[in-house]
C-alpha cells in the first residue's frame, strides 16, 4: 500500500433529505471513481476526517463502516496501520443474461480469458441432467480463468452439448462464448436459471484463482437455454468475493 497524500476533504453541505453518513459515503464513491483517491491511499485519522467533513465521529464511523462492508476501505490495526482505500470491486449484475466479457465492458474494465483446458468428455449425471441429454453423451468442457485489468476475478467451468455444436473447440475460445454460440451456431442463450452459494477453493483451483486453498469464494451454478427452451450451457463458476460484487435487480408487480 502506498502512503499517497489524500486530497482535501470537503465540509459537506447538509441535506434535509439525506443523512450525513450517506453524503460521506457518496463523496468517497465519487472520489474513488474519478481517481481523486486511489487504491492504497491512507486516510487521515478519524478525528481529522470528522473535523474535515464537519460531522461527529459517530457519523463518520457509520459511513466508514458501510464503505468497509462494500469493500472500498480496509482498516489495518496497529501503530503502522490505519484506514486505506481498496481497489473497487467489480459489479456483476445477474439480472440479465450477460456474459463475463459484457459485464466487464459495463464496468469499463478490459476482460481477458486464459483457457486452462478445452476437451470432449462423456457427460456426468449432473451435467446430463442440466443439459437434458443422456448420461455419458459427449459434451465440450471449457475451463477458463477470467481476469480484468490483469486481476484474476473468476474461474469458469462450462459444459456444452457436443451434438449441437460441431467443431466448437476448434474456434477461438478466449472471447465471448455466448457470442460464438450466437454467430456460429444460431443458438443464442436467452434465459438462465442461476444458483448462488458459498464455497471454498479446492487445491486444484487455488493456483488458478491466485488464492490459498480453502479460501472463501462465490459459486454460481447456471443453466442457460435458448428461446426454444434448449439448454445450451451448464456452468459452475467460482468468483473471488474480494474482487467481485454480485447484484440482482428486482421490482414489485
**For the chain, what are the domain ranges?**
20-85, 90-247
Backbone angles phi, psi at 193, to 5 degrees: -105, 125
Residue-averaged pLDDT of the chain = 85
pLDDT: is 75 or 227 the higher one? 227
* pTM recorded for the entire structure: 0.67
What pLDDT, in 10s, does the model give residues 136-152?
999 999 999 988 777 88
Q: How far is CA 210 from CA 55, 127, 186, 204, in A?
A: 40, 27, 36, 11
Give the helix/strand (H/E) hosting 24. Answer: helix 20-34
pLDDT, position 30: 81
> Cβ contacts of residue 145 below 8 Å, gap of 6+?
113, 114, 116, 152, 154, 155, 156, 208, 209
Burial class (CB in 10 A: 0-12, 13-18, 19+), 131: buried
What pLDDT, in 10s, does the model give residues 175-232?
889 999 999 999 999 999 999 999 999 999 999 999 999 999 999 999 999 999 999 9
Rounded Cα distance, 121 and 209, in Å: 24
Give the helix/strand (H/E) hosting 160. Answer: strand 151-161
Percent of the chain whose pLDDT exceeds 90: 49
Percent of the chain whose pLDDT exceeds 70: 83
Grid coordinates in use for 108? Answer: 469499463
Compute how many other C-beta atoms are within 10 angstroms of the C-beta atom of residue 186: 8
Check the CA dihedral 12-17-19-23 and report its sign.
negative
Report the range out of 30-44, 62-76, 101-115, 191-205 with the highest average pLDDT: 191-205
Q: Summarize the confidence of residues 231-241 as an average pLDDT.
A: 94
**Helix pair angle (20-34, 57-69), 10° resolution:** 50
| CATH class entry, domain 90-247 | alpha beta
Strand partners, 220: 196, 237
Q: Summarize the confidence of residues 163-179 as an average pLDDT.
A: 94
Report angle CA 182, 186, 189 to the nearest 5 degrees. 55
Domain 20-85 of CATH type 3.40.50.720:
no
**Which of 12-16, 77-81, 221-225, 233-237 has the weakest average pLDDT?**
12-16
Amino acid at each position: 500500500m502506498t502512503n499517497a497524500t489524500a486530497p482535501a476533504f470537503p465540509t459537506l453541505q447538509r441535506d434535509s433529505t439525506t443523512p450525513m453518513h450517506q453524503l460521506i459515503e457518496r463523496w468517497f464513491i465519487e472520489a474513488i471513481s474519478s481517481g481523486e483517491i486511489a487504491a492504497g491511499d491512507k486516510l487521515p485519522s478519524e478525528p481529522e476526517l470528522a473535523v474535515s467533513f464537519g460531522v461527529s465521529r459517530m457519523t463518520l464511523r457509520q459511513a466508514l463502516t458501510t464503505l468497509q462492508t462494500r469493500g472500498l476501505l480496509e482498516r489495518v490495526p496497529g501503530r503502522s496501520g490505519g484506514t486505506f482505500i481498496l481497489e473497487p470491486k467489480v459489479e456483476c449484475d445477474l439480472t440479465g443474461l450477460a456474459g463475463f466479457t459484457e459485464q466487464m465492458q459495463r464496468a469499463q474494465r478490459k476482460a481477458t480469458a486464459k483457457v486452462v483446458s478445452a476437451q470432449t468428455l462423456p457427460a456426468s449425471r449432473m451435467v446430463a441432467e442440466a443439459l437434458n441429454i443422456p448420461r455419458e453423451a459427449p459434451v465440450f468442457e471449457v475451463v477458463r480463468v477470467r481476469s480484468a485489468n490483469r486481476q484474476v476475478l473468476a474461474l469458469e467451468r462450462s459444459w456444452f452439448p457436443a451434438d449441437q455444436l460441431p467443431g466448437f473447440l476448434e474456434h477461438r475460445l478466449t472471447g465471448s462464448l455466448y457470442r460464438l454460440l450466437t454467430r456460429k451456431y444460431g443458438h443464442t442463450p436467452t434465459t438462465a436459471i442461476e444458483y448462488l452459494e458459498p464455497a471454498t477453493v479446492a487445491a486444484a483451483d487455488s493456483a488458478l484463482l491466485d488464492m490459498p486453498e480453502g479460501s472463501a469464494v462465490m459459486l454460481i451454478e447456471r443453466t442457460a437455454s435458448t428461446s426454444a427452451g434448449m439448454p445450451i450451457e451448464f456452468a459452475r463458476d467460482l468468483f473471488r468475493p474480494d474482487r467481485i460484487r454480485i447484484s440482482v435487480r428486482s421490482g414489485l408487480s
